[in-house]
Structure 1
Amino acid sequence: MSHTDIKIANGIATETDTFQLKKQLGLYNGVTLIVGIIVGSGIFVSPKGVLQEAGSVGSSLLIWGLCGVICLVGALCYSELGTSILKSGGDYSYINEAFGDLPSFLYLWVAIVIIFPVGNAVTAITFSNYILQPVFTGCGPPNIAVSLLAASCITLLTLVNCVNVKWATRVQDIFTVTKIVALLVIIITGIAKICMGYVESFEKPFESSTSDPSRFALAFYSGLFSYSGWTYLNMVTEELKDPYRNLPRAIWISLPLITIIYLLTNVAYFAVMSPMEMLESDAVAVTFANRTLGVMSWIMPIFVAFSTFGGLNGAIFTSSRLFFVGARAGHLPGFLATINMKFMTPLPSLLFGCVMSLVYVCASDVYALITYGAFVESVFIAMSVAGLLYLRYTRPDMKRPIKVNIAFPVFFLIVCVFLLITPLASSPMSCFIGLVMIATGVPVYLVTVLWKKKPQRFLLAIEQFTIFVQKLFFAAREEMKED
């Protein structure tokens, strides 16, 4: 197809034939996407944080199980939202449907500025640190090597996602299997140790448990960090085959499986290490491997690197769909809502996300933003579930192929309120900065969205840039079809 086959309308080129992002994701792809994104570096390092705040082996195992239950309940609420509002974009689409433009734009703003690029940068840096660890024995890898490898990783995976959706899902499938194998190695080794009588950590499981609610909340945050990503399949609903069946099925398969694996992995850790030894370790899985795998201990950093690589691929895939949907709704520049007509991928959105992530790879202390981003993301997840209840009240006749029991969203919101309010006592500044991040989106919304009478010269410049980007990337606007 030549460029002459593209028609220009309102500054956006459209193809003469209707085309859309294709439904190429089946149930297996949905499961590997959820599992692949959730099982990142968290389970290999977070057990220390949970134990440190919970205070005992029994309490930490209880928190790991409860985190899985909370995420499953939340995911079931998202299955109702995802099948009632059959749009990609996840939280953005649900908040927009329930509460309108401004709240959804604020989510989009912090997702673009903080949540996704920071998450991608941290994941890529973690990948680099672990993959380089066997090379630089005795000393840590130099920062420049870590940054360059992290940037290369983000760029490579973006390229894969730009060229072919099936390539991206194949990468996700392969590395999901790899990380599950790594966890099975830990679990089987731990069970063998328990059978040999190594049960000292379990003799007084609840001794030294904390009774401080704020510490429990912080322990839950550490655990939930390892479960983060359970909402991401909802980002790509429009590309999921038979979403009415496959979305809830993928949730029911993935989250119970992950919860069981996480619990058994923690049991294995405690079979090999005492609580004190775990608290002294900066990388629990690596310490575990050094204790149990002998000359093969080098394999664990490689497994962790593979795990983060697969998680990064899934995050790049899903976040680009959020930018795409936001632009389609007029909340982002129009060129981000276009599809490459050769590869049928949202290429401009993928490249935009790549550039944003690379900016944070070059930042000096990207980890300082993780806490603020986690708080902000929790606020909008709670808002999405509140939107479910609001739509039940305001639009009772709305088509709901899946309708969860009202107790599920109520329970989930109570948990969210607890997790959002309790840390105010222990880390009020983190919460305050998170709210400031959200508030910075208000003036941006007023200028870019609400201000309709922009100067003609400005509109013309935007239009010309949009056409330039579309020609450069051979991209055209998607034509929507009603289901």
Structure 2
Amino acid sequence: MGKDKKEEAIFLRKKITLLRAFSLLIGSMVGSGIFISPKGVLKNSGSVGFSLVVWFSCGLLSMFGALCYAELGTRITKSGGHYIYILETLGPLPSFLFLWAEFFAISMWFLTHFLRKAYEKNSMGIHHLHGPANSAVVSLAFGRYMLEPFFAPCAAPVPAVKLVSLLGYCGSCSSVVFSPDTVLTLNSWSVTWSARLQTALSVVKLLALALIIVPGMMLLAQGHTEHFQDAFDRQSLVLDKLPLAFYAGMFAYSGWFQTSFVREELVKPERNIPLAVIVSVITVIVGYMLTNVSYYTVLGTQDVLASPAVAVSFVQRALKSLISVVPVLVALSCFGTMNGGIFTFSRTLFVASREGQWPPLFSMIHIRRHTPLPAVMLMFPLVTAMVCIGDIYHLLNFFSFSRWLFIGLATLGLIVHRHRHPELHSPFKVPLFVPVSFTIICLFTVAMSFYSDPVSISIGCTMVLSGFPVYYLIIHRQMSDRCRNLFYYLTHKLQLLLEVVQQEIKTY
């Protein structure tokens, strides 16, 4: 195909450079987690000292997982993240179960939410998740931090938080977000501008961390160490709560796998994926450790546990002159996480559709914008439903089981792929103990969480298992001619309405 024809062809272009990959990872990891997770880590670890150990351990575990995904990204050339790695290594059934747990089972959320309300416990923790649930959590954090300064010292009203959350996610509130385009519109309009926005917001995220770290370190140097007395209180440590503490910490680090979702759009992925992953994860580990030390230098354990927005409470004590600035920076940080999450996770829908496990409409690309428009648009109703019905801690707690189960399965798939294809040369290869230890820790943590929070984890387990009959009834079996004709008719009409077509050049 000639150069002119290739420029006119419909496919996802390679527009993610090394800098943009680094910004995507930083922008995805540094989000709402570091500003809301300290409460969950401290609550379930029991003391300041053990919470710092959990934060460092989560960073080390994230590095192990990131290295595994970096090797998978050099061995498997398709985009799609968790989904495509499980599909290529373990087969179509577990990959479909991932999709089922991530999207279809949201309808079960409405039922189980009210069951969860009836079983309120003090052991509520923050768990790691991704996809629509993650976007909903970050949206709610965005709304909370935007409103917190206006209602302090009281908590912001829940309806107002949800309204601002939706405005940040899909509204046109230009006074809150410096661009009049919404997250969804931007991702539908241009890959380049979405990546540029992500780079700019990554700088904002690092600035927000710096405004917490610098005054905290200055106070620590002046001798304010009273909150670190008896930091390792063994009596407050409850072993069966540690998985919840790790879920909370890993939620804050979540995002180290984002480049795997856009592998086909990366420039020189064999070099840029490992480089971006290693530099970004090390940067975040150092930043998070210093941020938590700053929190505990200014706030006591009871202050952290009682605060609905830890960063705001910190600023009220240490930087009263910037009380209106830091919450806005935090909110913009959450906005950047929303942008990165939609940018990457819409590619899972795109690839799943291309692989035949999702309606074909979602593997189509806009004829002028060269963006996966249908896949991006589907994120809107899913996240909106979750924002309207849930609060942060319920959303975080709900999806922990399936998320860590499938991440563990993906790294298990790396071990399987190595065994099946010993002849395959990979430009980046990690020692075998890294995927083995990471997989064992993931699956062991999932198993231990049954003791920590049996209700939420049982719900997550039921959600995953409910995908088995759906797979064999819908995916495995062929549709009748009547259903197939109706399905194709609807797809054709939506294709004309959205101006989208299948990609014309193979990018993997």
Please state which band the TM-score falls in when normalised by the shorter chain. over 0.9
Pick one of 71, 75, 79 that aligns with 1:88: 79
Alpha-carbon separation, structure 1, partners of 2:431 and 2:235: 33
Q: What does 1:413-452 correspond to in 2, within 5 Å?
A: 413-452=439-478
**TM-score between the two structures when normalised by the length of structure 1:** 0.92
Deviations 1:459-482 (A, max 9, x none): 111111111111111111013437
Give 2:65's aligned residue: 74
Which runs of 5 or more residues in structure 1 are unaligned?
1-14
* Paired letter, 2:267: K
CA distance 1:398–1:353, shift in 2 (3 Å): same
Task: State the match for 1:130 in structure 2.
Answer: 145
Query: Corresponding residue for 1:11?
Result: none
Seq. identity, % = 38
CA RMSD of aligned residues (A): 2.0
Say yes or no: does 1:152 pair with 2:152.
Answer: no
CA distance in 2, matches of 1:16, 1:55: 58
**Where does residue 319 of structure 2 map in the other structure?**
293
2:253 paired with 1:227? yes
* Corresponding residue of 2:484: 459
In structure 2, how many angstroms separate the alpha carbons of the residues matched to 1:103 and 1:231?
A: 19
Structure-to-structure mapping, 1:351-430, within 5 angstroms: 351-364=377-390, 367-430=393-456
CA contact (8 A) 2:44 2:238 kept: no
Aligned position for 2:54? 63
Q: What's the counterpart of residue 121 of structure 1?
A: 136
> Aligned pairs, how many?
468
Contact kept? 1:338, 1:476, Cα under 8 Å: yes
Q: Is the Cα–Cα contact under 8 Å of residues 32 and 176 in structure 1 kept in the other structure?
A: yes
Q: Which amino acid is the alignment partner of residue 308 of structure 1?
A: C
Measured after TM superposition, the shift of residue 27 of structure 1 is 0.9
Take 1:362 and 1:196, find their aligned partners in 2: how far apart are those partners? Answer: 45
Q: Distance in 2 between matches of 1:420 and 1:258?
A: 24
CA contact (8 A) 1:90 1:232 kept: yes
Q: How far did residue 168 of structure 1 move?
A: 0.7
Call closer, same or farther: CA 1:34–1:163 in 2, change over 3 Å: same
1:215 corresponds to: 241
How far apart, CA to CA, are the structure 2 residues paired with 1:131 and 1:365? 16
Decide whether aligned partners of structure 1 residues 96 and 162 sit closer, same or farther in structure 2, where only a CA change above 3 A counts.
same
**2:124 equivalent in structure 1:** none
**Residue in structure 2 matched with residue 345 of structure 1 by the alignment:** 371
- CA–CA distance in structure 2, aligned partners of residues 329 and 50 of structure 1: 39
**Contact preservation (8 Å) 1:95, 1:387:** yes
**Among 74, 97, 101, the residue aligned to 1:106:** 97
Match of residue 339, structure 2, among 286, 289, 313: 313
Q: Is residue 309 of structure 2 the alignment partner of residue 283 of structure 1? A: yes
SS across alignment from 1:476 = strand
Q: Distance in 2 between matches of 1:281 and 1:482?
A: 48
Q: Which residue identity does 2:101 align to in structure 1?
A: V
For residues 393 and 490 of structure 2, the distance between their equivalents in structure 1, rounded to whole angstroms, comes to 34
Which residue identity lines up with residue 143 of structure 2 in the other structure? S
Change (3 A) 1:166 1:132: same
- Cα distance between partner residues in 1 of 2:449 and 2:348: 29
Residues 210, 216 of structure 1: 8 Å contact kept: no
Determine the C-alpha separation between the residues in 2 that align with 1:365 and 1:75: 29
Partner of 1:43: 34
- Give the SS at the match of 1:402: coil
Match of 1:4 in 2: none
TM-score normalised by structure 2 residue count: 0.88
C-alpha deviation, 1:150, in angstroms = 2.3
CA-CA distance at 1:397 after TM superposition: 1.7
Partner Cα separation in structure 2 for residue 180 and residue 17 of structure 1: 38
Q: Which SS does the other structure have where 1:362 is aligned?
A: helix
Which residue in 2 is equivalent to 1:189? 215
Residue by residue over 1:313-365, the C-alpha shift from the partner in whole angstroms, topping out at 9 and shown as x without a partner, is 10111111000000000101101000001000000111111222122222255
For residues 227 and 455 of structure 2, what CA distance do their matches in structure 1 show?
36
The verdict on how the C-alpha distance between 1:291 and 1:399 changes in structure 2, with shifts beyond 3 A counting, is: same
Residue identity opposite 2:317 in structure 1? R
d(CA) in 2 for partners of 1:352, 1:424: 32
> 2:273 pairs with 247, 251, 259, which one?
247
Letter in 1 for 2:286: I
